[in-house]
Amino acid sequence: MKTPIRILPLVEDGLVDEVLRPLMSGKEADVFVVRSGTEIRCAKVYKEANKRSFKKAVEYQEGRKVRNSRRARAMEKGSKFGRKEQEDVWQNAEVDALYRLAAVGVRVPEPYGCFDGVLLMELITDEDDHVAPRLNDVSMDAEQAREDHAVVMHYIMLMLYAGLIHGDLSEFNVLVDSYGPVIIDLPQAVDAAANNNAKRMLTRDVDNMTNYYAQYAPDLLNTQYAKEIWALFEAGELSPEIELSGTFDEVEQDADVDSVMQEIKAAMEEEQNRLERIREAQEEA
Ligand SMILES: Nc1ncnc2c1ncn2[C@@H]1O[C@H](COP(=O)(O)OP(=O)(O)OP(=O)(O)O)[C@@H](O)[C@H]1O
Ligand SMILES: [Mg+2]
């Protein structure tokens, strides 16, 4: 096909040899199948901010790091330079997230870099070399749903271990190849430690995925992965080796309340005894 204008610089630089066909046109990006040498890859061309319709940009951008202070100031001012920088941060956020997640063992498309607003990455395919379907487009039995759900919960835990929350996880942003679920679409990934909405977003991601798999295995609705994962994060106990149980011991929390109540009761009794002793002493006098 004719090379889309935004991919031309990558062709000129030899990163892409040929654009084979459009794959998908989403809210934030147009995705193409491209050839680089003998490799078939995927090119995600980001739309410009004014053409995107991402509603919650503010929620996501809170706490996003901008290392250079001139940049940070320009972004705050919203100058033309600032807007350009804001775009770069947005676009680099996805490639950064892909590298960080791949490093901790989350299955994501292998990234090859982001150039001029075009993310070049592995094309996820099924066993017949067709583009892998989205989770939303596959059906499965209960056993498969439980297995894949556990894998996705493990990935959500690993993402948080890497400091990130997907923030837009759903059956539309998970592909399924012959090995299982692959997480995609990460430009809005949030920095867990710096964002006040982190717990809420993590819970939303977990709930979206659990509700989806629960249509095949309703027992999944009884799991409590979000609470379990968040408690591990807060306690600084996340690690790639952790095996999640899907349960969360609220009893332990209640026990804490109980012990506080017991302490209060003991203090009151002690005070009662003290007053009693004073009264006795006064009566004796
Ligand atoms: N690496 C990949 N391999 C195969 N297919 C992909 C890959 N990346 C994206 N796609 C396909 O392109 C679609 C859009 O990609 P993505 O979700 O990253 O962009 P988006 O603009 O956020 O889309 P949407 O608004 O629909 O969420 C995906 O749903 C998927 O079908
Ligand atoms: Mg998407």
pLDDT of 256 > 90? The answer is no
Q: Alpha-carbon distance 263 to 274, whole Å?
A: 16
78 falls in which pLDDT band (50, 70, 90)?
A: low
Q: Give me the CATH number covering residue 272.
A: 1.10.510
Instruction: Give tens-digit pLDDT for 81-117.
Output: 556 666 666 678 999 999 999 999 999 999 999 998 9
185 lines ligand 1 (CB under 6 A): yes
**Which pLDDT belongs to residue 57?**
58
Q: Is 137 a catalytic residue?
A: no
Residue appearing with tokens 């950064």: 96
State the total domains in the chain.
Answer: 1
As a whole number of angstroms, the distance between CA 220 and CA 27 comes to 30
Place 284 in a pLDDT band, splitting at 50, 70 and 90.
confident
Q: Please confirm, yes or no, whether 168 is among the known catalytic residues.
A: yes
Task: Give residue-wise pLDDT tens across range 134-158.
Answer: 999 999 999 999 999 999 999 999 9
94 lines ligand 1 (CB under 6 A): no
Which domain covers residue 174, as residue numbers?
5-284
Indicate which ligand has the atom closest to the C-alpha of 44. 1
Place of tokens 């493990």: 154
Q: Is the CB of 172 under 6 A from ligand 1?
A: yes
Lowest mean pLDDT among 25-29, 48-52, 210-214, 268-272: 48-52
Phi/psi region, residue 273 (left: phi>0; alpha: psi -120 to 50; beta: rest), is: alpha
Q: What is the distance in angstroms between the CA of the first residue and the CA of the last residue of the chain?
A: 107
The CB density around residue 161, as the number of other CB atoms within 10 Å, is 20
The residue annotated as part of the active site, out of 30, 148, 168, 205, is 168
Q: Is the CB of 246 within 6 Å of ligand 1? A: no
Q: What are phi and psi of 173, to 5 degrees?
A: -115, 25
Q: Whose CA is nearest to atom 7 of ligand 1?
A: 123
What's the pLDDT score for residue 268? 87
Q: How far is CA 101 from CA 61, 96, 189, 208, in A?
A: 19, 9, 11, 20
